[in-house]
Each structure stands twice: as C-alpha cells, then as structure tokens.
Chains A and B, each alone.
Chain A
C-alpha cells in the first residue's frame, strides 16, 4: 500500500466509508419510475406492471377476504413467496428465510411492507390449514404477513401472470415443478425484482430493500462496509 493512501484502508479506498444515515428512505409514494422515465423521454406513461396481474379474490389465514392487487399490492411494497403446507422441499426454507428477512427488515426500518405467502395447493390449503402452517412457523401473529389461498382457477392465473407456475409444462400447480423464488415489488415505483428463496436471509433483506426502496440506496453505496452487512 502506497504511503499516499496510508490514512485510508484498502477497503475504504475501494468501497468507501460507511455513509452517515442522513437521507431517510423515500416515502414519496406518488413517485413512479417508469412514468418519470416516460415523461423525461416525452412519451405516454406505460401501464403498471401490476395491471398485468389478475386482481382476484383471495382469503387469508385470518379468514380475511382481499382483492389481490387492490388490497394487497397496489401502492405497497410487497414480498411474495410460494408454498404449500405439506411441502417437504423448498417451502420450509422459503418460509424460514422470509421470516429471517422480515426480522432484519423490521429491525432496520419502519417503512411498511406486505408479506404474502401464496399457496400453490389451494384445494388442500384452506385458511385453517394456512393458519396451522403459520402458527407452526411462528409467524401467525404478524399483521403484515398474509398466508393466502384462492380458487384453483384464480391461483393458476395468478401464478401464470407472475411466472411462478410449473415451468416444466403440464399442470400449472404441479408441486414437483413449482419454483422457490421470492418476488419483490414496489407498485408505487413500478419496480419489481426477485431472488431465489434459498439465498441467505441477509441477501433477501438487502435485495428487497434495494428493490422495494424501504431504505435509502446510500446504504448500499459501500461494498461490505456499510449497513448492507449489518
């Protein structure tokens, strides 16, 4: 290391020092990135991503009825996972990692967001079954977390729209073909993303924060030195 930079460590040189938390996360829910880009480019704003997802009727493990888009997604930050309650494959990991990520996210920020665990086996996973599953996973009392079920047709359409149906063809709800992907969205900003549910919870939390903007981007300015690691 050259003497010219002796007062900075190599890590700091490369990745920057931790930035002070001066800027709060954006709470401007009227901001819509795709619309802003369209305005800057001088064209009409495109339809939101969520407009391509069916606004179907769903029921939660608390027996609450929702419209999927209008009540749970519109103008919200949302994390979606896909499970069925008797799954012995990826689903337990999905739910466990969502919970771990949820705890990290709640510790870091007060920005509201919605957690959705959507069953791909709506015939077997009644609201009661989902409640038992949520209790078993210790998350039944988290107000922002809904374990939801819908009719088989609605579930199929929903999974098709967000590409979480059986990618290998055949039965859309086939349990051996379902994905273990978490979907992140910020409908206000029209920003969507995802990550494999098998990723470490810290990465699930980080990626959700960056995609859904529950915190300021500047937490991600430093590679390995800022709050991204904490």
Chain B
C-alpha cells in the first residue's frame, strides 16, 4: 500500500476528521471514514481493497468528439435487417429535411412551416440568410469495452464510447443538426442513449425500449432546435441548452451501464451564449491558441478546447479485489461507491491560474446526493441550473445536487495565488436510499485546486459577476395549464412504483396533446426514500415545492427535481415540437431499473372526449396515443387522476 504524503496527512489531521480504530486501510486509501457504510441488516458491500494517495492524480478530461464520415440511415427505409443501420433513424429526419436531388445530402427544413428553414439563420429577421448556417454534424460513437486505470496500478474493465471514459465531449450549437451513430460492440448488453437535457425526437431520445442491440447501430438524430413560442417562432433566446450529458438508458440495465462508464458530456452554445463568450463575460469554451489557431489541448494531447471552461463529472466508485467495478445485481436501493471520482479519477487535483474558471459540475452518481462547497468559504457564482443558463449569475455558497443535477458555476481563483482549496461535499450518505443529511463539520473532499500556474495573459479575464444578466427567462403561467396530473412515487414490496403501477412499455401513462401546457404534481409520500425525478424532452419550471416558492435556482428551468421524503413538487411544463413516447422516471438509476418510470406520449391526434376538471367530468379534447394496452384486460387508465382519487369517487369513474 502506498503511504499518504505528509502534506495530505497534515491536511487530514488539520481538518480533524481522522478517526482511529478499524479504519486503517480505508484511511490509507485516502477515503474519509464516514464514507464506509454502516453495517446493515444484510451486511455492507465490501470496501474497495486498494490504497491511493488523494489529490495527486490530475483531473482527466475527455477529448472533443471528432466528426466522423458516416452516411446517415435513409429515414424512409424501415429499421431492420434490410436497413444498413439496423435501428434506423428518426422519421423526423425525413420530415425535417429536404433531399437534394440525387444526393444523400439533407438540408434541414421546418416541419411546421415548410417555407421556413430553421437552420438558415438564428436571427429570424435576417432576410439575407440564404445558406444553411450549419452543416450537419456527424459523429460515430462505438460502445466498446476498455481498460481504465481508476486507481494507480489497478486495471478496471469498463464500458466506453470510442474507448474513452467519459465518452468524447460533443460540441454542438443551437440550430446545428447532428447525427450521432451509436454502435454497440459491448458483446451482450443492450443499450439506449439518452441525451440528457436535449429537446429531441422520440426515436433519438433514449427511450428505454428503443435499444441499440449488440452488434447493431442506431442513428440518433439531434436537430438541436428549441421549443416553439406561442407565436409559433422557435424560442432560441430563452430555451437554448448549455451543458448536456449523454448516458445509457437501456431498460433495467441503465444503472449497470452508467456505472460501468457509458456517459459523456455535450456542450452546446447558441448565439446568445457565444456573444457572452465573445464579449469576455464568460470564458470561451472554444479557446484557440492565438498563434497556432488550434483548439487548446490537454497535456495528453486530447483536445479539450478550453482550460478555463471544464466539465467535471462527480462520480463514486467501488472496486473489487480483481479491479472490476463492484456491482451487486440484487441491490435495488441505490449504488454507493466509496471512492469519490471526478471525471473518472479518484479525488484528483487540478492546477489552475489565478483567474475565473467555469466548472460545469455534473452529479453523475446513481444514488449519491451532494451538497458542494469550496473549502475556503468562497461562494460559487452559479451560471446555470441543469441545462439552462439562469437569468442572471447568482452567488451560492452551497449547492445541493441530487443524482443527475448539474450546476454550472464560476469559481474565482484570482485572489488565491499560491493557495490550495478543495471542492467539498458536506452531504453525508451511508445508504442508497437517501442521504443522511448535511454535516458542515465533516466535509468529504472531492478534489483539490492548486493555484500555482502563472496567469496566461494572452487570454483575457472573464467579467461575469453576481447579477450579470445571462439568459432571459419566460415564466410559464399557472393559468396556461390545461391539464393537471398527479404522480405519486411509492415503494411496493421491494420495488418502486409511480401511482401504484410498475412501468409498462405499452401503457401511455400520460397522453399529452402536442403543444399543451400542463401542471404536474409530483409527490413522494414516503419519508424513507428520496427520488430525483427526471422528465424527458423539455424543461419544467417548479412553481411550488412543499407549497412554497422554491429557491432561486429551481424557479427557472430544470430537467430534474429531488423529491425528498414526504415532499410535493408542483411544476409547469410545455410539450412541444416532437411527438411520440418519452419517459419520466426516478434518476436514482437503480430505482428506475426497478420500474419507477412512466411513459408519456405527446400526441398530434386529438379526439373529442372528456376529462376531469375540479372533480367534474367535462367535455374536452383528448390525446390519442399510439401506445396501447390492448394486450391487457384492464381498462385504459384515465390519465392525470391519482388512483386514490378514482377509488374514493367511484361514481365519477364508473
């Protein structure tokens, strides 16, 4: 076993959280003692039996994805053996594109308005734009096993996209259509890729049943457009995404696949954010060397594109003695690792210049909740919650991040030259079900920043400060909502349910009229479990959390919300542009795999029917889903009404 460096030992002692007794191996492994799980009735998972010296391994960064020379599948050909791409491409690819005669050369067009090409320009008033603004971006990601050194000297087999963990960082721009071919060379496991935070067609959304089988491919078509405003125009200004991440979403294998390495970042900009970068308000995410004009490379030669704008995936790991990732196929509480990793490196270190850095923090853990802070008490300047920039930058001393939550922050090192500070997690957690609570006196160190690099004066300092306007926000009004749906997240006999039902691939649990505004009420009645709920395809706006206006960062746009034990979240959401089945689910992936998930189908077809408003049945348009439940003898569920309500009002639902 390696010895700790004296520096680290001193640090640990000074923080006063070394405890004696039975923790020797763990301490030497550099993992704080509270990370070990409490012995439980059925026994704790074994601790990782390897030692390492924390804060010595530099943070790795995945290279930027390199465009590939692929010909997207013909969208008019059905998926299957006859199709060169077994799982095909989204039908929207044909609907949105016009084929130039004789060429497989697709020019994007707008399905709603064939005379308006969304790719021509982002400035809707720019009549001079005649050519597509962007060429279609094409990538090829091959999912394959690879060997990774997470801990020094220990070889860990993992899944990967193109041989790297995390997967290559995709760089996209709003309005730039993109096709990512995903090929599954993992041997025996089915996969499905979800671009988390994106507004995509159903076929490309990583629906858990839209698999990529071993040896097969699927062309994921990402138009990179934004939802439409009431006046019919695309809402480039308020809806453009920033930080997205892609990860596996295969039905009942999500947790296993994500923990084994199937995740990566996608960084998107639009003209508004690019202007903020050009004007020096934010660090440029495509920083080029002023002499060579090349994108900045990391020390290992991979293009990471900006040393001042860094995606940081917070993960946790647990390894077996043979180096493999510890995985308990039978534990459905939630996976909890005992090694804290950033971008796949255990408690790493980052050398920084005395200047402002944009850190795109992403909680990529399956079950671990985080409350992050900086060890010197300095606040973060939060730019974005989840995928969307906030209306203005906000100072935040502590940021709560449930699994899948992203916090895009500026950390200002400019007055810290020569110092070392730590990113800390003060949320204690000893089991997968829920965190134990915040303990500000026992921080878990996630990574170290050493401010020892000289200031590179070739690149100007960014100017963002608290209150700097970023992305305008448009509130959805509660009065716009035409439907209210209730979803109760509950546990039943060792598995998880929503509205007392397990996930069924065939059942449209919410049939939504395309373009509708809806109010959803999400409830977690149980105190013993926390459920971070993620809704696909669009951002939602939380209007009330336990009956009160939520904190600043949750008021705007989010794609996931943590339902702590016994809480209720009310949110407003619009469902636009794309129709077909999507899902929403608990993002504790172990719970999701045990069917804490629901289908929602956005429908273009509408029939006259009835719905319940304020407890009374009234005539109203009703969506006609394509998913069906004709194989079951149960009647079609009445969407939007909790079962308890139906049971207590039998006359209304006879």
For the complex, is B209 an interface residue (Cβ under 8 Å from A)?
Answer: yes
Q: How far is the CA of A1 from the CA of B257 in the complex (A)?
A: 36
Contacting pair B42 A163 (CB below 8 A) = yes
For the complex, is B494 an interface residue (Cβ under 8 Å from A)?
Answer: yes
Q: Mark B82-113, 1 if CB is under 8 A from A, else 0.
A: 00001110110011000000000000000100
Q: How far is the CA of A44 from the CA of B322 in the complex (A)?
A: 8
The segment from A60-68, A107-115, A138-146, A191-199 found at the interface with B is A191-199
Determine which residue in A14, A22, A89, A178 has the highest number of CB atoms from chain B within 10 A of its CB, and name it: A14
Q: Mark B180-217, 1 if CB is under 8 A from A, else 0.
A: 00000011111000000000001100010111011000
For the complex, is B162 an interface residue (Cβ under 8 Å from A)?
Answer: no
Neighbouring B residues of A12 by C-beta, 8 Å: 78
Contacting pair B42 A192 (CB below 8 A) = no
Instruction: Report the minimum CB–CB distance from A45 to chain B (whole Å).
Output: 9
Instruction: Report the minimum CB–CB distance from B186 to chain A (whole Å).
Output: 7
Q: How far is the CA of A31 from the CA of B389 in the complex (A)?
A: 48
The segment from B127-135, B171-179, B420-428, B500-508 found at the interface with A is B500-508
Contacting pair A37 B187 (CB below 8 A) = yes
Neighbouring B residues of A89 by C-beta, 8 Å: 493
Contacting pair B78 A196 (CB below 8 A) = no
**CB-nearest residue of chain A to B253:** A193
Q: Mark B554-581, 1 if CB is under 8 A from A, else 0.
A: 0000000000000000000000000011
Q: Mark A12-33, 1 if CB is under 8 A from B, else 0.
A: 1111110110100000000101
Contacting pair A14 B320 (CB below 8 A) = no
Neighbouring A residues of B323 by C-beta, 8 Å: 43
Contacting pair A37 B87 (CB below 8 A) = no
For the complex, is A153 an interface residue (Cβ under 8 Å from B)?
Answer: no
For the complex, is B41 an interface residue (Cβ under 8 Å from A)?
Answer: yes
The segment from B139-147, B334-342, B451-459 found at the interface with A is B139-147
Q: How far is the CA of A158 from the CA of B328 in the complex (A)?
A: 14
For the complex, is B299 an interface residue (Cβ under 8 Å from A)?
Answer: no
Q: How far is the CA of A164 from the CA of B155 in the complex (A)?
A: 32
> Are A14 and B329 CB-contacts (below 8 A) given A198-B493, A203-B502, A217-B190?
no
Neighbouring A residues of B502 by C-beta, 8 Å: 195-196, 198-200, 203
For the complex, is B399 an interface residue (Cβ under 8 Å from A)?
Answer: no
The segment from B5-13, B380-388, B469-477, B624-632 found at the interface with A is B624-632
The segment from A3-11, A71-79, A129-137 found at the interface with B is A3-11
In the complex, the number of residue pairs spanning A and B with C-beta atoms less than 8 Å apart equals 206
Contacting pair B626 A163 (CB below 8 A) = no
Determine which residue in B207, B493, B594 has the highest number of CB atoms from chain A within 10 A of its CB, and name it: B493
Q: How far is the CA of A172 from the CA of B146 in the complex (A)?
A: 39
> Are A193 and B42 CB-contacts (below 8 A) given A181-B493, A203-B504?
no
Contacting pair A16 B492 (CB below 8 A) = no
Neighbouring B residues of A180 by C-beta, 8 Å: 492-495
Contacting pair A192 B40 (CB below 8 A) = no
Q: How far is the CA of A210 from the CA of B189 in the complex (A)?
A: 10
For the complex, is B589 an interface residue (Cβ under 8 Å from A)?
Answer: no
Neighbouring A residues of B79 by C-beta, 8 Å: 15-17, 221-222
Instruction: Report the minimum CB–CB distance from A17 to chain B (whole Å).
Output: 5
For the complex, is B497 an interface residue (Cβ under 8 Å from A)?
Answer: yes
Q: Which of A162-212 contact B (CB under 8 A)?
A: 162-170, 172, 178-181, 183, 189, 191-200, 202-203, 206-207, 210-211
Determine which residue in B189, B253, B328, B494 has the highest number of CB atoms from chain A within 10 A of its CB, and name it: B494
Residue B41 contacts which of A37, A165, A199 (CB distance < 8 angstroms)? A165
Contacting pair B190 A210 (CB below 8 A) = yes
Neighbouring A residues of B628 by C-beta, 8 Å: 224
Instruction: Report the minimum CB–CB distance from B51 to chain A (whole Å).
Output: 20
**CB-nearest residue of chain A to B43:** A160
For the complex, is B80 an interface residue (Cβ under 8 Å from A)?
Answer: yes
Contacting pair A224 B627 (CB below 8 A) = yes
Neighbouring A residues of B138 by C-beta, 8 Å: none
> Are A221 and B332 CB-contacts (below 8 A) given A4-B94, A166-B41, A196-B595?
no
Q: How far is the CA of A159 from the CA of B330 in the complex (A)?
A: 10
Contact residue range for chain B?
35 or more
For the complex, is B76 an interface residue (Cβ under 8 Å from A)?
Answer: yes
Contacting pair B324 A10 (CB below 8 A) = no
Q: How far is the CA of A221 from the CA of B94 in the complex (A)?
A: 21
Residue A4 contacts which of B76, B155, B190, B203 (CB distance < 8 angstroms)? B76
Contacting pair B331 A163 (CB below 8 A) = yes
**CB-nearest residue of chain A to B528:** A168
For the complex, is A220 an interface residue (Cβ under 8 Å from B)?
Answer: yes
For the complex, is B158 an interface residue (Cβ under 8 Å from A)?
Answer: yes
**CB-nearest residue of chain B to A38:** B157
Q: How far is the CA of A25 from the CA of B470 in the complex (A)?
A: 55
Instruction: Report the minimum CB–CB distance from A203 to chain B (whole Å).
Output: 6
Neighbouring B residues of A22 by C-beta, 8 Å: 81
Residue A10 contacts which of B91, B328, B332, B496 (CB distance < 8 angstroms)? B91
Q: Mark B59-84, 1 if CB is under 8 A from A, else 0.
A: 00000000000000001101111000
Contacting pair A40 B81 (CB below 8 A) = no
Residue B252 contacts which of A8, A17, A193, A229 (CB distance < 8 angstroms)? A193
**CB-nearest residue of chain B to A172:** B41
Instruction: Report the minimum CB–CB distance from B156 to chain A (whole Å).
Output: 8
Determine which residue in A160, A196, A199 has the highest number of CB atoms from chain B within 10 A of its CB, and name it: A196
Instruction: Report the minimum CB–CB distance from B205 to chain A (whole Å).
Output: 11
Contacting pair A46 B322 (CB below 8 A) = yes
Residue A199 contacts which of B202, B328, B595 (CB distance < 8 angstroms)? B595
Contacting pair A40 B42 (CB below 8 A) = no
For the complex, is A90 an interface residue (Cβ under 8 Å from B)?
Answer: yes
Contacting pair B492 A200 (CB below 8 A) = no
Neighbouring A residues of B253 by C-beta, 8 Å: 193
Q: Mark B580-609, 1 if CB is under 8 A from A, else 0.
A: 110000000000011100000000000000
Instruction: Report the minimum CB–CB distance from B165 to chain A (whole Å).
Output: 11
Contacting pair A192 B155 (CB below 8 A) = no
> Are A163 and B328 CB-contacts (below 8 A) given A5-B91, A11-B626, A33-B187?
yes
> Are A164 and B595 CB-contacts (below 8 A) given A31-B188, A37-B187, A44-B322?
no
Q: How far is the CA of A17 from the CA of B90 in the complex (A)?
A: 14
> Are A221 and B145 CB-contacts (below 8 A) given A5-B76, A195-B252, A200-B504?
no
Contacting pair A40 B210 (CB below 8 A) = no
Instruction: Report the minimum CB–CB distance from B93 to chain A (whole Å).
Output: 10
> Are A16 and B188 CB-contacts (below 8 A) given A180-B494, A228-B505?
no
**CB-nearest residue of chain B to A185:** B329
> Are A220 and B209 CB-contacts (below 8 A) given A2-B94, A179-B493?
yes
Contacting pair B332 A203 (CB below 8 A) = no
Neighbouring B residues of A223 by C-beta, 8 Å: 207, 209-210, 505, 581
Contacting pair B144 A40 (CB below 8 A) = yes
For the complex, is B219 an interface residue (Cβ under 8 Å from A)?
Answer: no
Neighbouring B residues of A11 by C-beta, 8 Å: 626
For the complex, is B248 an interface residue (Cβ under 8 Å from A)?
Answer: no
Contacting pair A229 B506 (CB below 8 A) = yes
Contacting pair A196 B492 (CB below 8 A) = yes
Q: How far is the CA of A220 from the CA of B503 in the complex (A)?
A: 16
> Are A43 and B155 CB-contacts (below 8 A) given A12-B78, A196-B495?
yes
Q: How far is the CA of A146 from the CA of B626 in the complex (A)?
A: 40
Determine which residue in B40, B593, B594, B632 has the highest number of CB atoms from chain A within 10 A of its CB, and name it: B594
For the complex, is A218 an interface residue (Cβ under 8 Å from B)?
Answer: yes
The 7 closest A-B pairs by CB, nearest first: A179-B494, A180-B493, A196-B495, A33-B188, A41-B157, A16-B79, A192-B329
Apart from A170-B41, A199-B503, A222-B79: 18 A-B pairs, beta carbons within 8 A:
A5-B94, A13-B91, A14-B91, A15-B79, A16-B79, A17-B78, A40-B187, A41-B147, A41-B158, A164-B330, A178-B494, A180-B492, A192-B330, A194-B332, A194-B594, A196-B495, A196-B502, A202-B631
Would you give 8 A-B contacts (Cβ < 8 Å), ordered by A? A37-B145, A46-B324, A163-B332, A183-B330, A194-B332, A195-B594, A198-B502, A220-B209
